[in-house]
């Protein structure tokens, strides 16, 4: 089989383009890792191992409780930073790590030094959030992807594996109401017809 020289040249060029551009695109696309790297390098933070996190991540992918499709969490301890410059540095790091389609949703800075940064973006019928919390010398970076409609359904009627998570008082009142309705219906059936 004879391959034209121009086709072979074009194919070689495309392979080279994809080989050298693909790592750049994926590196820019992983916003979560960029923020984790910033905390680890800038503040000499040490990662904290979370036992059995892989089980929780697997369960979420399979069950999708409350519409959550996936999540990642990285925890740090022993952060070394200046309280005077931390807020400005973190705002800059978040802007530089996240692309323009991420919107800031929440920024909290308490008098005790606790800080929270939350960003969000839409992805099809899902929403992604990025949350960074810093408290004294500890931090957590959380990324989650969820379906907002299913989350709203869960909030209105929380169930996992068909088991309701509502408080017992509401369940008791629902059962009492159902019992009253059933007894009223039985009384109507038992009443003899008058001619």
Q: Tens digits of per-residue pLDDT, 132-151?
A: 999 888 999 999 998 888 88
Domain ranges of the chain: 30-172
Quote the distance between the C-alpha of residue 11 and its chain's center: 40
Contact of 133 with 79, CB cutoff 8 Å: no
User: Given a cut of 80, is residue 94 above it in pLDDT?
Assistant: yes
| 90: Cβ contacts below 8 Å, ≥ 6 apart | 115, 117, 132, 134
Helix axes 31-42, 83-97, angle to 10 degrees: 150
At residue 194 the predicted structure's pLDDT band, cuts being 50, 70 and 90, is: low
Least confident of 11-15, 26-30, 43-47: 11-15
Q: Select the more confidently predicted residue: 37 or 15.
A: 37
> What is the structure's pLDDT at 92?
92
Res. 160 pLDDT band, cuts 50 70 90? low
Count of residues making up the chain: 195
- Residues 23, 34: Cα–Cα separation, whole Å: 14
What does the pLDDT read at residue 165? 63
Q: Decide: residue 38, CB within 10 A, 0-12 exposed, 13-18 middle, 19+ buried.
A: buried
Structure token pair of residue 184: 């009223």
As a CATH number, domain 30-172 is 3.30.2030
pLDDT at res. 105: 93
| Residue 117 φ then ψ, to 5° | -130, 125
* Residues 52, 93: Cα–Cα separation, whole Å: 29
- The Cβ of residue 120 has, within 10 Å, a number of other Cβ atoms equal to 15
């017992």: which residue's tokens? 168
pTM as predicted: 0.63
Q: What percent of the chain has pLDDT over 90?
A: 34
Kindly state the average pLDDT of the residues 94-103: 92
Compute the average pLDDT of residues 81-97.
90
Task: Identify the DSSP state of 121.
Answer: E
């Amino acid at each position: 089989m004879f391959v034209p020289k121009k086709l072979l040249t074009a194919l070689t060029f495309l392979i080279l383009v994809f080989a050298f551009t693909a790592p750049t695109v994926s590196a820019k696309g992983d916003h979560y890792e960029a923020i984790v790297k910033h905390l680890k390098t800038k503040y000499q933070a040490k990662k904290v191992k979370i036992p059995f996190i892989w089980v929780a991540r697997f369960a979420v992918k399979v069950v999708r409780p409350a519409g959550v499709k996936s999540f990642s969490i990285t925890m740090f301890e022993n952060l070394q930073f200046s309280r005077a410059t931390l807020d400005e540095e973190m705002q800059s790091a978040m802007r530089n790590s996240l692309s323009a389609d991420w919107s800031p949703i929440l920024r909290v800075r308490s008098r005790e030094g606790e800080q929270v940064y939350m960003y969000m973006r839409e992805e099809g019928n899902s929403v992604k959030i990025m949350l960074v919390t810093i408290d004294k010398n500890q931090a957590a970076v959380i990324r989650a992807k969820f379906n907002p409609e299913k989350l709203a359904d869960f909030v209105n009627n929380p169930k996992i594996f068909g088991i309701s998570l509502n408080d017992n008082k509401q369940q008791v009142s629902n059962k009492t109401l159902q019992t009253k309705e059933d007894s009223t219906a039985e009384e109507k059936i038992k009443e003899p017809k008058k001619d």
